[in-house]
């Protein structure tokens, strides 16, 4: 295999990816330099939402460390850890999570769904009501759940929590449409920072990482590169 430096006629010269890209004459005019993977972003966002709302042990973003950060960074006394008589700390139930009983009923509802073959049929197989867990969900399963099932499954949450999640669900559903009008994409671009702000008022700060903020760039990517489909 011929090394890249030899192929370019640059023996004994180290060249980085950045230098290579900006050395291309049309790079400065390339508006869409990074093509973000929508399905990958959507799956990661869905996993964070689902595992936190369903309070999945070991996967939820609402853990003890998150509650300690809340006490230090936020004025949300209802989420702060409570010290018990035995000097241990207890984590109060958050208004954005389900109780184990409610979570189990949602898993049961998912397992009994009737979905079309080739669309979301695999989702029913992923739910285990007895153990109270989801397993083996692929990117397309998360896409179907985020765009269609999430507002239904989480409808019993407090209205301010549900409405923010429903707006997030609608954003991904619209984003992945076969056809889009420019004015609709512009509206999505204006709305998504507001949706993120609403979620930031609900979930702890540890819920958000780079993946949650990448979705702000997706409407612009559609305007430059065309619909996701």
Parent domain of 213? 38-225
Cβ 41 vs Cβ 211: under 8 Å = yes
* Same structural domain, 75 and 187: yes
pLDDT one-digit tens code per residue, 128-186: 888 888 988 989 899 999 999 999 999 999 999 999 999 999 999 999 988 889 999 99
How many domains are there within the chain?
Answer: 2
* Same structural domain, 20 and 65: no
* Same structural domain, 147 and 61: yes
* Same structural domain, 132 and 208: yes
* Same structural domain, 52 and 147: yes
Q: How many residues does the chain have?
A: 229
* Same structural domain, 13 and 88: no
Longest dimension (CA), the chain: 73
DSSP 137: -
Tokens of 156: 């019993």
* Same structural domain, 16 and 94: no
pLDDT of residue 72: 78
* Same structural domain, 62 and 137: yes
* Same structural domain, 47 and 130: yes
* pTM score, whole prediction: 0.83
* Same structural domain, 22 and 92: no
Rounded distance between C-alpha atoms, residue 122 and residue 104, angstroms: 19
């Amino acid at each position: 295999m011929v090394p890249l430096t030899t192929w370019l006629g640059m023996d004994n010269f180290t060249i980085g990816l950045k230098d290579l890209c900006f050395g291309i004459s049309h790079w400065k005019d390339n508006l869409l330099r990074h093509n973000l993977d929508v399905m990958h972003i959507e799956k990661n966002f869905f996993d964070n939402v689902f595992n936190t709302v369903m309070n999945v042990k070991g996967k939820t973003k609402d853990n003890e460390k998150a509650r300690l950060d809340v006490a230090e960074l936020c004025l949300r006394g209802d989420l702060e850890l409570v010290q018990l008589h035995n000097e241990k700390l207890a984590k109060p139930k958050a208004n954005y999570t389900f109780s184990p009983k409610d979570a189990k009923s949602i898993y049961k509802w998912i397992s009994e769904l009737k979905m079309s073959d080739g669309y979301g049929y695999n989702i029913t197989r992923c739910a285990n009501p007895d153990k109270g867990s989801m397993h083996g969900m692929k990117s397309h399963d998360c896409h179907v759940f985020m765009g269609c099932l999430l507002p239904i499954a989480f409808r019993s949450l407090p209205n301010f929590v549900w409405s923010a999640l429903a707006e997030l669900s609608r954003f991904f559903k619209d984003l992945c449409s076969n056809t889009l009008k420019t004015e609709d994409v512009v509206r999505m671009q204006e709305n998504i920072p507001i949706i993120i702000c609403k979620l930031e008022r609900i979930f702890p700060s540890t819920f958000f990482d780079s993946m949650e903020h990448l979705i702000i760039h997706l409407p612009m990517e559609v305007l430059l590169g065309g619909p996701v489909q």
